Amino acid sequence: MHIAVAGNIGSGKSTLTRMLARHYGWEARFEAVDHNPYLEDYYRDIHRWSFNLEVYFLKERFRDLIEIEKSEHTIVQDRSIFEGVYVFMQNNKAMGNLSDRDYETYMELFEQMMSVVHYPDLMIYLRASVPHLVGNIQKRGREYEQTMKLEYLENLNRRYDEFIYKMYKGKVMVIEKDELDYQNNPKDFARIVDRIDSTLFGLFPE
């Protein structure tokens, strides 16, 4: 089984992924943010490095999907290939950071990849306001994230909503993150677990 945790930068995806893996005994899979060789260059010069960054992420996420398909264990994944394409890539294109040629090349590559992989069994979308995201980003203190503009996060939030509510064809659970502190409040985490149990195993009413 494949569970994906989706959400904007600073929404708490990695924390929830770790907690769900520990609770259910699932295998956690995280995207290689700190090891991406293009990330710091991207935040310094988004226009120049967008295509490089997006292709690198696409390659890494596709590799993850292939490994997940082969796994005999349940995998909970921090961010999916789908939001990488339909949120971050589309946002970069709309901002003028990719040429039409680069965009078409990227999308053709993605479409070929999709012919050999499947949707996750469940996508958990952590929906958070921009102030909530900013607070979390400041707390974790990654230097390359501190220069992000509010407009960038706002654009990503709009694209996440459009992706989840209008484009994505798989099964989705939306969690309003501003209302919860599942890292420090066991009752909040229990509420999420109950919803997952209901959706995946039919153990509790929604």
Q: How many CA atoms lie within 13 A of 160 on its CB side?
A: 25
Binding residues: 7-15
Q: What is the pLDDT of residue 62?
A: 92
Q: Report CA-CA distances (Å) from 80 to 70, 124, 186.
A: 17, 10, 26
Question: Could you tell me the residue ranges of all domains in the chain?
Answer: 2-199
Q: What is the pLDDT of residue 178?
A: 94
Amino acid at 121: D
103, 93 contact by CB (below 8 A): yes
Give the pLDDT of the chain (206 residues) as one tens digit per residue.
999 999 999 899 999 999 999 999 999 998 766 677 888 898 889 889 999 999 998 998 899 899 998 999 999 999 999 998 999 899 889 989 999 999 999 999 999 999 888 899 999 999 999 999 988 887 776 665 666 778 889 999 999 999 999 999 899 999 999 989 999 999 999 999 999 999 998 865 55
Q: Give the angle subtended at the CA of 103 by the CAs of 96 and 116, to the nearest 5°.
A: 145
The DSSP code for 144 is G
Binding residues for ATP: 7-15
Q: What is the pLDDT of residue 152?
A: 86
Question: Which listed residue (41, 64, 78, 188) is catalytic?
Answer: 78
The residues near 104 (Cβ < 8 Å, ≥ 6 apart) are none
Q: What is the CATH number of domain 2-199?
A: 3.40.50.300
Our answer to whether residue 194 is catalytic in this structure is: no
Query: 127 forms bridges with which residues in the sheet?
Result: 176
Q: What is the pLDDT of residue 162?
A: 95
